[in-house]
Structure 1
């Protein structure tokens, strides 16, 4: 018979279908996924990763995705045509290459988010299940701690990206030194526009195009922040689960954890460790293309932003310098965190093997002590977060990206005769 109640000291947990259930799991899931949900809904991707979406939400999602994708193409197509077939000045080409390249990369990542919807849904369902079944208040505290870490990282990423990005699209276009120094009648736009089709200098065409550019910019920054937030949520969740298994290993020797006396604690550890490895594989499969796009994008954009900062420093344009420097910090921070969470994932998964040896295993029954060899062996081959199954995301990768951007910077200075 399945017991109908839980102990009197903990009324936050109850048994449902013979399984302990966290009655606060809805609030916990909302806390974990809230920021990601806020970002996914406006770009129409949330129903693709949420199996609970209604028919109306799915219809709205199709409309939003069509609108967002069209807005990105409204920038990418005329801009590439202008850069490769119209513009002859090398300096202007280089100045346009950064923002247009970022828009193109965001379009690719947006397509990846849509195509990888089922994989993200599988990962989110796994997160929901873990929150629903966590039964120990100490374990729930560990998970909340790592959920808080992911929220803070997402907030910092979004703050830098949106502030620097929107400053480029608005403040720099009107208040940079080039605009202040001369009496321009030409009204500025962040991207080349199809002048052969539209007269973008007349009203209200100019205002409409300017608004579309800003709207597309918000989509770009949302897509980038979403990619980052999904990676942060999944990896920090895995880290929380790893810490729970380590706590169980330490309790194993003290014989304090018996899962209600129904299951052998070591079998629970092994089972949950396998679930962690399966979740890690699903997360890596969902994120690998986006991570590859981030690596390539960050290497090129960091190089261009460094170049822009040097050029504006020579021009003594404080507003442009501040904007480009903020964006440089943002992209550097983003790729650093991508690489850091990849390093963190591998390091945390190794900790299970290390702690399996550190506990007082010699006080365990011989059979259980031998079983720990399995955990130690598996931990020697931790899961990794990769960029397209080509590059392992680690701190060494971040160092390589930073060095490569500087190499490209020197090459760019030579090409442009700066």
Structure 2
């Protein structure tokens, strides 16, 4: 495999889990700036659908909190509101910070392209595997929690009948829907499905945030390991000429400056 193909393979390997999730949300910042009109429209469509699903949770919950007169119920709904606000805010950051995230990914790609030797590549791959494990662990927690909260929890509680002989079927996220009767079919089933999809979007956003953090943090850790290795070799190795020491010292300084950027 050529150096260019090897670099591309490594970049695809370390970003694969996060890339798949973020592409499904329409917020994966492609390193290539040139985009076709169809890709831009498709990305805008994914972003619009995702925000609509998030709004289907957030807006009814806000109205429910405003209309509810019981302090205890208001306090119980606050965690759901905060979670939805955070998900919408994180998603907005992914959209409006697209350029900065693209620059970070470009920096990572350049580091892989300019890797100095096989030992350095091995260190970077070890850090990359750690990052993939972190993303997988976060994904299991977030998607498992979303599945439990959005489907298993409300369905396990079943239905109950009020004193007015009205059958109540619970939803995962309470909301105020004005004159719409959410208990009749198929309204209840539609809202239940929308809340499940909204939960998947929220879980994807949280997992994507963890994925970006893992990519950049473990990459920085790999670069620091390479820097430590360079400094050890600079001290331990016997140099035959002074210019060799100067060259290696310059290499250490340049690598340190690049890490700090």
* TM-score normalized with structure 2 length: 0.88
Q: From 90, 93, 115, give the equivalent of 2:74.
A: 93
Q: Which runs of 5+ in 1 are unaligned?
A: 1-11, 14-20, 279-418
Partner of 1:187: 169
Per the TM alignment, residue 38 of structure 1 is displaced from its structure 2 partner at its CA by 1.1
C-alpha separation in 1, matches of 2:103 and 2:179: 45
Indicate yes or no: 2:36 matched with 1:57. Answer: no
How many residues matched?
Answer: 251
Q: From 259, 264, 277, give the equivalent of 2:260.
A: 277
Partner of 1:267: 250
Q: From 119, 123, 140, give the equivalent of 1:142.
A: 123
Indicate yes or no: 2:245 matched with 1:232. Answer: no
Partner of 1:207: 189
Per the TM alignment, residue 162 of structure 1 is displaced from its structure 2 partner at its CA by 1.1
Indicate yes or no: 2:22 matched with 1:40. Answer: yes
Q: From 194, 198, 201, give the equivalent of 1:216.
A: 198
Indicate yes or no: 2:74 matched with 1:107. Answer: no
Per the TM alignment, residue 207 of structure 1 is displaced from its structure 2 partner at its CA by 1.7
C-alpha separation in 1, matches of 2:18 and 2:189: 31
Q: Which runs of 5+ in 2 are unaligned?
A: none
C-alpha separation in 2, matches of 1:274 and 1:142: 19
Partner of 1:67: 49
Contact 1:32 1:147 in 2 (8 A): yes
Q: Deviations over 1:334-361 (max 9, x none)?
A: xxxxxxxxxxxxxxxxxxxxxxxxxxxx
Matched residue SS, 1:186: strand
C-alpha separation in 2, matches of 1:197 and 1:137: 67
* TM-score normalized with structure 1 length: 0.56
Per the TM alignment, residue 164 of structure 1 is displaced from its structure 2 partner at its CA by 1.6
C-alpha separation in 2, matches of 1:255 and 1:40: 49
Per the TM alignment, residue 49 of structure 1 is displaced from its structure 2 partner at its CA by 4.7
Matched residue SS, 1:41: helix
C-alpha separation in 1, matches of 2:238 and 2:97: 43
Per the TM alignment, residue 91 of structure 1 is displaced from its structure 2 partner at its CA by 2.8
Per the TM alignment, residue 53 of structure 1 is displaced from its structure 2 partner at its CA by 6.3
C-alpha separation in 2, matches of 1:255 and 1:23: 35
Contact 1:49 1:120 in 2 (8 A): no
Matched residue SS, 2:25: coil
List structure 1 segments (4+ residues) > 3 angstroms apart after TM superposition.
none
Counting only pairs closer than 5 Å after superposition, residues 1-20 of structure 1 correspond to structure 2 as none
Indicate yes or no: 2:153 matched with 1:172. Answer: yes
* Structure 2 CA distance for partners of 1:216 and 1:225, relative to 1, 3 Å: same
Counting only pairs closer than 5 Å after superposition, residues 253-402 of structure 1 correspond to structure 2 as 253=235, 254=237, 264-278=247-261
Identify which of structures 1 and 2 has the higher relative contact order when contacts are C-alpha pairs closer than 8 Å and 6+ apart.
Answer: 2
